[in-house]
Amino acid sequence: MRIAVFGCGYVGLTTAVGLAEIGHQVTGVDTDAAKIHSLQNGKVPFYEPGMQELLARNITEKRLQFSTNARLAIQKSDVVFCAVAAPSSRKSITDLSAVLKVASDFALYSDSEKIFINKSTVPVGTSDEIARTIRTKQTKRTPFFVVSNPEFLREGHALKDFFHPDRIVIGLPEGSAANANKEPNRLKLTMRRLFRHVAKNGIPLLFTSLRNAEIIKYASNAFLATKISFVNELAQFCEKAGGDIKEVTNGMRHDPRIGIHFLDAGIGFGGSCLPKDLGVLLRTGKTARVPLRLMKSVKDINDAQPFQVIEKLRKKHPRLNGKKVAVWGVSFKPDTDDLRDAPSRLIVDKLLKLKARVHVFDPVALGNFKKIYGARLEYGKDAYDILKDADALLLLTEWNEFSSPDFKRIKKLMRTPLIVDGRNVYDPAELRAQKFIYSGIGRS
Ligand code: UGA
């Protein structure tokens, strides 16, 4: 199929590269000319494992191209994906201007029947607004369909999630959603062709209404966020009650009703999705006059969670003024250089406020961190480089390379052998045996 993907961020680029890889003819479109230029030259503008190779291959094999020309991309495509940013701001619950601009372009340039598939995370009712926009802006009555196809990929695993998703949710306009699971119709068949790699592997394509699809996206992220805040709150209880959250969650996660994933206590959830989507859900709830009390608690727990690390640090160093604090890992999770809503930033801001000397190292995100903090921090060449005479080491992102470090070397380098393990990576008994002062999250 001939496909245009608008927006070349994490979701858009993964969609474009993935669809090209399974044989479709894809054009990635973005208004950022520098980004398009870099993609045309086979360069991925962010860190995502495996993306570089697949991008280069699909460009060379002529299934994938990039352009800033919306008109041409729309006219030569049967399907237009919208994966542009829909940020949350103080003024509006979600800024839909980029999404509605793609809808307007679609209306203006579409010259034959086409499908508009929205992948941007947008509040419930937006697909209807997209359809209204297209209808209003059209000069001719060219037939079209609006479909909602929320994305569930995780940064750091984006391609893996594209090729092996748990499910594909497809919200169809009224009329086509009815009986779509029983009775094949044209739209449903097209969606199956589009995602044939998934359908052929037996992964479910779940057809539903537009609004349900939109709600499923928020509900899924909010549920994941709830699991994390649940364990983070339980971690505080474990600390006081003489337990270890790691062992407690191990004892829970084998129950399939609870599930094995997203039960790791830590410094709180960050990234561009969970915090934003939870915020949007809360604000939409307010508009709908539904208080969403549980969601509010999930957010409150998460807002406070990063500061646990500071509390633990201050148990040993009540005054952090002038203390050297070494930080391992700043990205919001491993395998990404993304710092959006990264809890590390709240922690580093607080340390700077308390006048600590902060030295950081991250295997991938250091360059981006430097753009934010500049000369206010010291940046290490490697993990050990920042440990000399350090008064504490904070582990904030569980990159693989931090999982089995040379503790003897660490001990020799540090002035005070204090490790605050924000991700519960290390074995407390082993570290205490090596005479470290160890503090994890939820481990008494
Ligand atoms: C999240 C969802 O997992 C994806 O399904 C969704 O598609 C995506 O948002 C989105 O809406 O675009 P992502 O933001 O890449 O994906 O990150 P996650 O892997 O969900 O991690 C989010 C945060 O939770 C990270 O800061 C991570 O460290 C934290 N986390 C995760 C925990 O603290 N404990 C856990 O057990 C799991």
Would you list the DSSP string of 99-116? HHHHHHHHHHH--S-EEE
333 lines ligand 1 (CB under 6 A): yes
pLDDT at 386: 98
308-352 per-position pLDDT tens digit: 999 999 999 999 999 999 999 999 999 999 999 999 999 999 999
Nearest atom in ligand 1 to 221's CA: 2
pLDDT at 57: 97
Q: Which of 224, 245, 298 to mutate to test the pocket of ligand 1 (most atoms within 8 A of CB)?
A: 224
pLDDT at 184: 54
d(C-alpha 32, C-alpha 74), whole Å = 17
Q: Which of 94, 246, 258, 269 to mutate to test the pocket of ligand 1 (most atoms within 8 A of CB)?
A: 269
Burial of 339 (0-12, 13-18, 19+ CB in 10 A): buried
- Burial track 131-149 (b if 16+ CB lie within 10 A, e otherwise): bebbeeeeeeeeebbbbbb
Nearest atom in ligand 1 to 270's CA: 26
pLDDT tens digits in sequence order for the chain, 444 residues long: 999 999 999 999 999 999 999 999 999 999 999 999 999 999 999 999 999 999 999 999 999 999 999 999 999 999 999 999 999 877 778 999 999 999 999 999 999 999 999 999 999 999 999 999 999 999 999 999 999 999 999 999 999 999 999 999 999 998 665 455 554 588 999 999 999 888 788 899 999 999 999 999 999 999 999 999 999 999 999 999 999 999 999 999 999 999 999 999 999 999 999 999 999 999 999 999 999 999 999 999 999 999 999 999 999 999 999 999 999 999 999 999 999 999 999 999 999 999 999 999 999 999 999 999 999 999 999 999 999 999 999 999 999 999 999 999 999 999 999 999 999 999 999 999 999 999 999 998
- What three-state secondary structure class fits 255? coil
238-284 per-position pLDDT tens digit: 999 999 999 999 999 999 999 999 999 999 999 999 999 999 999 99
Report angle CA 149, 155, 161 to the nearest 5 degrees.
55
28 is written with which tokens?
Answer: 């990635």
Q: Which of 154, 231, 397 to mutate to test the pocket of ligand 1 (most atoms within 8 A of CB)?
A: 154
269 lines ligand 1 (CB under 6 A): yes
Rounded to 10°, the helix 293-304/210-241 angle is 50
306 lines ligand 1 (CB under 6 A): no
pLDDT at 280: 95
pLDDT at 176: 60
Residue type, 59: I
User: What residues are labeled active site?
Assistant: 273
Residue whose CA lies nearest to ligand 1 atom number 11: 273
- What three-state secondary structure class fits 33? helix
253 lines ligand 1 (CB under 6 A): no
271 lines ligand 1 (CB under 6 A): yes
Residue whose CA lies nearest to ligand 1 atom number 24: 269
Residue 79's closest CA among 216, 205, 199, 195? 195
pLDDT at 421: 98
Sign of CA dihedral 157, 160, 163, 169: negative
58 CA → ligand 1 middle, Å:
28
228 CA → ligand 1 middle, Å:
9
425 lines ligand 1 (CB under 6 A): no
The pTM of the full predicted model, rounded to 2 decimals, is: 0.95
Residue whose CA lies nearest to ligand 1 atom number 1: 154
165 CA → ligand 1 middle, Å:
15
Q: Taking a C-beta distance cutoff of 8 angstroms, is the pair 294, 306 a contact? A: no
Nearest atom in ligand 1 to 271's CA: 14
328 lines ligand 1 (CB under 6 A): no
Nearest atom in ligand 1 to 150's CA: 7
153 CA → ligand 1 middle, Å:
9
pLDDT at 222: 98
263 lines ligand 1 (CB under 6 A): yes
Q: Which of 15, 121, 214, 228 to mutate to test the pocket of ligand 1 (most atoms within 8 A of CB)?
A: 228
Reported as type and span, the H/E element at residue 244 is none
